[in-house]
């Protein structure tokens, strides 16, 4: 597949278009030279030029700016550039306060000095608990104020104002400690941006790894682990609920059922459709326009007789394009709309809530909805007295000072806004906003983990370390507990897992000599490191992971699939017990009954080019001897919804059947030489096994039996013409004895699970 | 010296107001800029105007480019912002078409079709792009010409990384099929 993609990419890239005369470089140069100062000025202010406060794709993540420039000056100035893993609980209260003072002080001095000050950047290495673990790299930068471009001079006035403001707060303090801290961070960041005219390139030796001998221990305490997550909700056995990361922690999805009604949102007609289902019979009950103008749908929940709809609303949509608006001064809000569906399933609005920023994700536990959004502020709008220019809001009210958390090394203008909403009591029970980004979110049964891969502002690359914050939650009350840093980065939220007072994670990282490795790390709840296994699987990266109690499994890949098993029963001393090399790789792992692990991924050739999907069943009953018990290559299919979105995986734990939507690209190139060459080894298998003319989106269901292996139960085209079916908007739900295939905007069809024959359709 | 280093040096000089350095930078990417605009908009005149507009904005705002090695990504951001607005305008024009009379339409709405070459004059790539949705066009153009990776596109479009990957892959497959059907 990758190879086929390369060919078409090259074809498009080298397409020979006749470029208009006016765009020739010499003509453009003439035009540039002829621009009047007014035009230059006007164009410099164009809204289309990326806002510096939010990084562009090539600048790296929109989050995770840290310890660079101005900010590191501050950190090192107060001698707290080093991260303290040991005492995060103290850091929680004391450090922000000290920091507030130091920030103000240093900002003041910084501004006072004005020209030509030096900045020191301290970068701390991976914090091996033992020795030789610190690599302090000192970076000296000459401030480029002398060279600051013309346009910046216009802003001197503003600068003076800011100076006044920060001095005032520095001298007299304020009753809003965290507001001040947030403000000062943003101000410092703004100045940092302005000063980015000249800088030196510095390469950092970010992480120094001591070699550690890996020994496979001779003893193994019997694996008592059961699945740490299963596909269905035990409390409601009659239907398969959305497949989630953590058992008991519900996740929103684009399609939901309560066993009697199925809800799907059609973005084309912008209506929420609801259908009643009964033994395979589907009746369309109605459709409701659930959105205001400028509101967009994201996903939903069903909880008791309520439907909770998560969305976004943009108040100034005229100038905000739907998916680029992230880069505009963000006035976007996350919306939470609660509907009563007790009357024949018909949604009736009872309550609406909003919180600042783009909807990112949410979880629901015991009737409490936890909602995560990203709120970015434009530093150009920053005004000390106008809190709304730098403090996020919930339901139009500023989040309280005590609920604002500014991380000590944050150099960022994006908050993660988190709220807890009691759906029964119809009120927010808690809210908080953490200044600092987040990319992978993981929610365990008691804790929320925000992780954020660090970005290095010295050489504009992602660092090989990730920041992590732990927030505990209990019945709607949230508490900021600890923060820390771990080496490498996470593949997704299956790569991190909390179990019995420990946090285990697998990451991919690059060592000082640019070799790629993977590691397993165990931390305690204060995010202090307990143990580590490093230097695993050189040159490969982690593609999937699954922790199941006292055992963990993860897959690394370059051109074969080593599935590693690791014994975690002694957190101080984790052991790799076995690994298995097979062709291809699994991108999603799901526990399958006792002692088995289902892997869904890709079949690849010896060079690692992916060809088509593959199912593997691993026997993991003996962690010292894991085996691939059966494998099935799905020659027809090249893409599967489950590989991008776990919510798209249907697992019926009543009978062990599972399903997902998959896409067949067809083999229209089967006769071409490049294809024959690339897939030389698999060519005969493809000819023999693949339906060469099959193209489009399909829903497939399998069963597994130890003796018979994988059995395909169903393979049905999606909709009337599957060619343009969106497999990622498709869900399979088993209710009673019937499987319902629901596609957002394309209706529902039902199948009898006895024979997988079509029973009913409703479009 | 690789392209990126060369670009960084030129960006630094352009920041000091050197128009020639800027023109050299432009020379390195203008074909890609134009192709991206043409394929996203499917209209050569608008593409020409938008590239011109983008370049002048970029020159005027070059001091805002913090990462000197990231010139390509940065200017593509400006371009795609402009294209996005233009596409939005196309959509609203299309919606208005149902309410205005044909006379008005021909006068006031410079429709997509006007100024568009007939299929024979189009390159295969341009035709292949025309079968994609606006979103897909954006994704493919940013990845192929802007040299963005899927994570960067995801960030810019506020989408899931995997969704970008799958949409990109699907778009390529559509194009491949389309090109296959031509021959």
Residues A142-156: tens digit of each pLDDT: 333 344 344 444 444
Mean per-residue pLDDT, A683-692 = 86
Ordered DSSP codes for A338-372: EEE-TTTT--EEEEEEEEESEEEEEEEETTEEEEE
Q: Which residues of A touch B158 (CB under 8 A)?
A: 323, 325-326, 358
- Look at residue A607 in the predicted model and tell me its pLDDT: 61
Best mutation target, A31, A44, A48, A374, to test chain B (most B CBs within 10 A): A48
pLDDT band at residue A310, thresholds of 50, 70 and 90? very high
Q: Which residues of B touch A43 (CB under 8 A)?
A: 56-57, 59-61
Interfacial B residues in 127-166 facing A (CB < 8 Å): 128-129, 135, 140, 142, 144-145, 148-149, 151-153, 155-160, 162-163, 165-166
Phi and psi angles of residue A757, each rounded to the nearest 5 degrees, phi first: -95, 150
CA gap A42, A567 in Å, rounded:
63
Closest partner residue to A460 (CB to CB) among B67, B72, B140 is: B67
- Number of A:B CB contacts under 8 A? 204
| pLDDT higher at A511 or B6 | B6
Interfacial A residues in 61-120 facing B (CB < 8 Å): 61-62
pLDDT band at residue A3, thresholds of 50, 70 and 90? low
Closest partner residue to B74 (CB to CB) among A47, A50, A666 is: A50
Residue B107 has pLDDT above 60, yes or no: no
Ordered DSSP codes for B91-149: HHHHHHHTTS-HHHHHHH---TTTTPPPGGGS-HHHHHHHTS-HHHHHHHHHHHTS---
- Look at residue A53 in the predicted model and tell me its pLDDT: 35
- Look at residue A145 in the predicted model and tell me its pLDDT: 38
- Look at residue A470 in the predicted model and tell me its pLDDT: 95
The reply to whether residue B60 touches residue A460, judged by beta carbons under 8 angstroms, is no
Residue A54 has pLDDT above 50, yes or no: no
Cross-strand pairs, A368: A365, A422
- Per-residue pLDDT tens over the stretch A522-533: 999 999 999 999
- Per-residue pLDDT tens over the stretch A378-426: 777 788 888 988 899 999 999 999 999 987 665 567 889 999 999 999 9
- Residue in B closest to A152 by C-alpha: B63
Best mutation target, A5, A7, A8, to test chain B (most B CBs within 10 A): A8
Lowest-confidence pick of A141-145, A348-352, A452-456, A674-678: A141-145
In this complex, is the C-beta atom of A35 within 8 Å of any C-beta atom belonging to chain B? yes
The reply to whether residue A644 touches residue B162, judged by beta carbons under 8 angstroms, is yes
Q: Which residues of A touch B162 (CB under 8 A)?
A: 643-645
Best mutation target, B67, B79, B84, to test chain A (most A CBs within 10 A): B67
The reply to whether residue B23 touches residue A40, judged by beta carbons under 8 angstroms, is no
CA gap A92, A499 in Å, rounded:
23
Closest partner residue to B23 (CB to CB) among A29, A43, A666 is: A29
pLDDT band at residue A536, thresholds of 50, 70 and 90? confident
Q: Which residues of A touch B145 (CB under 8 A)?
A: 13
CA gap A118, A127 in Å, rounded:
27
Lowest-confidence pick of A24-33, A215-224, B161-170: A215-224
Mean per-residue pLDDT, A327-351 = 83
pLDDT band at residue A751, thresholds of 50, 70 and 90? very high
Closest partner residue to B73 (CB to CB) among A5, A57, A663 is: A57
pLDDT band at residue A174, thresholds of 50, 70 and 90? low
Mean per-residue pLDDT, A198-208 = 31
- Per-residue pLDDT tens over the stretch A260-273: 999 998 877 788 99
- Per-residue pLDDT tens over the stretch A358-388: 899 999 999 999 999 988 887 777 888 889 8
C-alpha dihedral (A188, A193, A198, A200), degrees to nearest 10: 70
Closest partner residue to B74 (CB to CB) among A56, A151, A152 is: A56
- Look at residue A670 in the predicted model and tell me its pLDDT: 80
Q: Which residues of A touch B63 (CB under 8 A)?
A: 44, 149, 151-152, 197
Best mutation target, A29, A33, A58, A147, to test chain B (most B CBs within 10 A): A58
Q: Which residues of A touch B30 (CB under 8 A)?
A: 19, 23, 25, 28
Interfacial B residues in 14-33 facing A (CB < 8 Å): 15-16, 19-20, 22-24, 26-27, 30-31
SS3 A649: coil
Interfacial A residues in 295-324 facing B (CB < 8 Å): 321, 323-324
Q: A669: distance to nearest CA of chain B, Å?
A: 9
**Mean pLDDT across chain A, nearest whole number?**
76
- Look at residue A609 in the predicted model and tell me its pLDDT: 65
In this complex, is the C-beta atom of B90 within 8 Å of any C-beta atom belonging to chain A? no
In residues, how long is chain B?
183
- Look at residue A330 in the predicted model and tell me its pLDDT: 55
Which residue, A624, A520, A518, A517, is CA-closest to A580? Answer: A624
CA gap B84, B91 in Å, rounded:
11
| pLDDT higher at A604 or A312 | A312
pLDDT band at residue A215, thresholds of 50, 70 and 90? very low
- Look at residue A335 in the predicted model and tell me its pLDDT: 95
Mean per-residue pLDDT, B21-37 = 91
Write out the two tokens for B154: 């995801």
The reply to whether residue B152 touches residue A460, judged by beta carbons under 8 angstroms, is no
3-state DSSP of A523-569: EECCCCEEEEEEEECCCCEEEEEEEECCEEEEEEECCEEEEEEEECC
Mean per-residue pLDDT, A433-450 = 90
Residue A534 has pLDDT above 80, yes or no: yes
The reply to whether residue A1 touches residue B169, judged by beta carbons under 8 angstroms, is yes
- Per-residue pLDDT tens over the stretch A563-607: 999 999 999 999 999 988 887 888 999 999 889 999 999 887 666
- Look at residue B127 in the predicted model and tell me its pLDDT: 86
Best mutation target, A4, A28, A639, to test chain B (most B CBs within 10 A): A28
In this complex, is the C-beta atom of B98 within 8 Å of any C-beta atom belonging to chain A? no
In this complex, is the C-beta atom of A4 within 8 Å of any C-beta atom belonging to chain B? yes
- Residue in B closest to A646 by C-alpha: B162
- Look at residue A498 in the predicted model and tell me its pLDDT: 96
Q: Angle, to 10 degrees, between the axis of helix A177-194 and the axis of helix A156-172?
A: 150
Residue A166 has pLDDT above 70, yes or no: no
CA gap A508, A599 in Å, rounded:
20
- Look at residue A431 in the predicted model and tell me its pLDDT: 96
Q: ipTM strictly over 0.90?
A: no
Q: B102: distance to nearest CA of chain A, Å?
A: 26
- Look at residue B97 in the predicted model and tell me its pLDDT: 57
CA gap A375, A415 in Å, rounded:
5
Count of alpha carbons within 13 angstroms of residue A495, beta-carbon side: 24
**Burial degree of B132 (CB within 10 A; 0-12, 13-18, 19+):** buried
Residue A758 has pLDDT above 50, yes or no: yes
String of b and e for B79-102 (b: at least 16 CB within 10 Å)? bbbbbbbbbbebeebeeeeeeeee
Residue B122 has pLDDT above 50, yes or no: yes
CA gap A383, A378 in Å, rounded:
11
Mean per-residue pLDDT, B11-22 = 84
Residues 6+ away with beta carbon under 8 Å from A87: A526
Mean per-residue pLDDT, A73-82 = 33
- Look at residue A231 in the predicted model and tell me its pLDDT: 39
Mean per-residue pLDDT, A736-753 = 91
Interfacial A residues in 173-232 facing B (CB < 8 Å): 193, 196-198
- Per-residue pLDDT tens over the stretch B129-176: 888 888 889 899 999 998 888 888 887 777 777 788 888 888 888 888
In this complex, is the C-beta atom of A267 within 8 Å of any C-beta atom belonging to chain B? no
Mean per-residue pLDDT, A251-259 = 94
Residue B84 has pLDDT above 80, yes or no: yes
Q: Which residues of B touch A643 (CB under 8 A)?
A: 162
- Look at residue A194 in the predicted model and tell me its pLDDT: 64
- Look at residue A300 in the predicted model and tell me its pLDDT: 95
The reply to whether residue A48 touches residue B82, judged by beta carbons under 8 angstroms, is yes
- Per-residue pLDDT tens over the stretch A643-660: 889 999 999 988 999 999
- Look at residue A244 in the predicted model and tell me its pLDDT: 94
- Look at residue A332 in the predicted model and tell me its pLDDT: 84
- Residue in A closest to B34 by C-alpha: A19
Task: Give CB contacts under 8 A, 24+ apart, made by A217-221.
Answer: A217/A567, A217/A573, A217/A575, A220/A567, A220/A569, A220/A575, A220/A577, A220/A623, A220/A624, A221/A550, A221/A567, A221/A569, A221/A570
């Amino acid at each position: 597949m990758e190879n086929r993609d390369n060919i078409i990419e090259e074809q498009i890239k080298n397409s020979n278009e006749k470029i208009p005369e006016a765009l020739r470089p010499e003509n453009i140069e003439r035009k540039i030279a002829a621009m009047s100062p007014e035009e230059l000025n006007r164009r410099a202010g164009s809204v289309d030029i990326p806002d510096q406060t939010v990084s562009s794709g090539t600048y790296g993540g929109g989050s995770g700016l840290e310890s660079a420039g101005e900010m590191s000056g501050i950190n090192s100035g107060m001698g707290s550039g080093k991260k303290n893993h040991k005492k995060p609980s103290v850091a929680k209260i004391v450090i922000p306060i000290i920091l507030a003072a130091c920030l103000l002080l240093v900002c003041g001095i910084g501004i006072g000095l004005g020209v030509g000050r030096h900045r020191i950047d301290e970068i701390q290495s991976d914090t091996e608990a033992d020795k030789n673990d610190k690599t302090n790299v000192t970076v000296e930068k000459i401030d480029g104020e002398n060279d600051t471009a013309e346009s910046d001079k216009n802003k001197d006035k503003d600068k003076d104002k800011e100076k006044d403001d920060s001095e005032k707060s520095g001298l007299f303090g304020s009753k809003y400690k965290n507001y001040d801290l947030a403000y000062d961070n943003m101000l410092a960041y703004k100045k940092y941006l302005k000063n980015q005219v000249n800088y030196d390139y510095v390469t950092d030796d970010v992480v120094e790894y001591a070699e550690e001998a890996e020994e496979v221990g001779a003893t193994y305490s019997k694996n008592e682990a059961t699945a740490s997550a299963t596909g269905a909700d035990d409390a409601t056995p009659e239907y398969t609920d959305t497949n989630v990361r953590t058992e008991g922690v519900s996740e929103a999805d684009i399609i939901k059922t309560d066993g009697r009604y199925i809800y799907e949102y059609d973005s084309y007609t912008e209506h929420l459709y609801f259908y009643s289902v009964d033994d395979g019979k589907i009746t369309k009950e109605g459709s409701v326009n659930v959105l205001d103008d400028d509101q967009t749908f994201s996903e939903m929940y069903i909880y008791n007789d309520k439907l909770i709809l998560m969305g976004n609303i943009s108040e100034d949509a005229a100038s905000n394009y739907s998916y680029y608006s992230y880069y505009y001064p963000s006035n976007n809000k996350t919306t939470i709309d609660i509907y009563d569906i007790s009357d024949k399933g018909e949604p009736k609005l009872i309550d609406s809530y909003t919180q600042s920023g783009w909807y990112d994700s949410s979880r629901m536990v015991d009737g409490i909805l936890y909602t995560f959004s990203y709120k970015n502020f434009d530093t150009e709008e920053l005004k000390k007295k106008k809190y709304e220019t730098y403090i996020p809001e919930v339901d139009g009210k500023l989040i309280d000072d005590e609920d604002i958390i500014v991380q000590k090394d944050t150099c960022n203008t994006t908050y993660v806004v988190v709220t807890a909403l009691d759906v029964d009591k119809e009120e927010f029970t808690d809210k908080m906003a953490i200044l600092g980004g987040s990319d992978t979110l993981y929610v365990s049964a008691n804790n929320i983990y925000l992780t954020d891969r660090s970005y290095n502002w010295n050489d504009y690359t992602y660092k090989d370390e990730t920041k992590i914050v732990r927030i505990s939650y209990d019945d709607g009350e949230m508490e900021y507990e600890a923060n820390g840093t771990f080496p490498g980065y996470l593949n997704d939220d299956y790569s991190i897992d909390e179990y019995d007072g420990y946090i285990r994670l697998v990451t991919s990282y690059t060592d000082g000599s640019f070799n790629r490795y993977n590691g397993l790390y165990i931390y305690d709840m204060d995010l202090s490191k307990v143990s580590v296994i490093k230097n695993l699987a050189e040159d490969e990266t982690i593609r999937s992971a699954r922790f199941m109690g006292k055992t963990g499994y993860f897959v690394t890949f370059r051109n074969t699939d080593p599935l590693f098993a690791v014994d975690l029963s002694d957190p101080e001393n984790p052991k790799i017990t076995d690994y298995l090399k097979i062709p291809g790789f699994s991108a999603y792992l799901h526990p399958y009954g006792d002692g088995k692990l289902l892997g869904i991924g890709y079949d690849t050739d010896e060079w690692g080019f992916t060809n088509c999907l593959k199912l593997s069943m691993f026997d993991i009953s003996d962690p010292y001897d894991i085996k691939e018990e059966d494998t099935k290559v799905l020659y027809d299919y090249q893409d599967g919804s489950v590989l991008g979105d776990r919510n798209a995986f249907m697992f019926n734990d009543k009978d062990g059947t599972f399903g997902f939507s998959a896409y067949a690209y067809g083999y229209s190139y089967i006769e071409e030489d490049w294809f024959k060459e690339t897939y030389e080894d698999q060519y005969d298998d493809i000819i023999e096994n693949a339906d060469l003319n099959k193209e489009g989106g399909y829903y497939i269901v399998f069963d597994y039996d130890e003796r018979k292996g994988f059995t395909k139960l169903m393979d049905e085209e999606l909709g009337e013409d599957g060619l343009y079916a969106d497999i990622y908007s498709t869900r399979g739900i088993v209710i009673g004895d019937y499987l319902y295939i629901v596609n957002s905007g394309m209706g529902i069809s039902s199948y009898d699970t006895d024979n997988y024959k079509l029973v009913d359709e409703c479009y | 010296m690789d392209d990126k280093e060369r670009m960084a040096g030129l960006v630094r000089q352009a920041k000091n107001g050197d128009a020639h350095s800027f023109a050299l930078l432009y020379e390195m990417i203008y074909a890609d800029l134009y192709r991206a605009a043409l394929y996203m908009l499917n209209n050569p005149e608008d593409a020409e105007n938008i590239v011109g507009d983008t370049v002048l904005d970029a020159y005027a705002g070059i001091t805002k480019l913090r990462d000197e090695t990231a010139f390509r990504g940065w200017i593509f951001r400006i371009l795609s912002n402009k294209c996005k607005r233009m596409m939005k305008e196309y959509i609203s024009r299309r919606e208005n078409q149902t309410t205005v009379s044909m006379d008005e339409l021909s006068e006031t709405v410079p429709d997509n079709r006007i100024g568009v070459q007939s299929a024979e004059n189009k390159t295969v790539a341009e035709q292949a792009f025309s079968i994609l949705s606006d979103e897909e066009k954006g994704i493919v153009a940013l990845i192929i010409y802007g040299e963005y990776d899927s994570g960067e596109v995801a960030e810019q479009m506020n989408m899931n990384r995997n969704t970008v990957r799958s949409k990109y892959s699907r778009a390529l497959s559509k194009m491949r099929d389309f090109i296959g059907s031509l021959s």
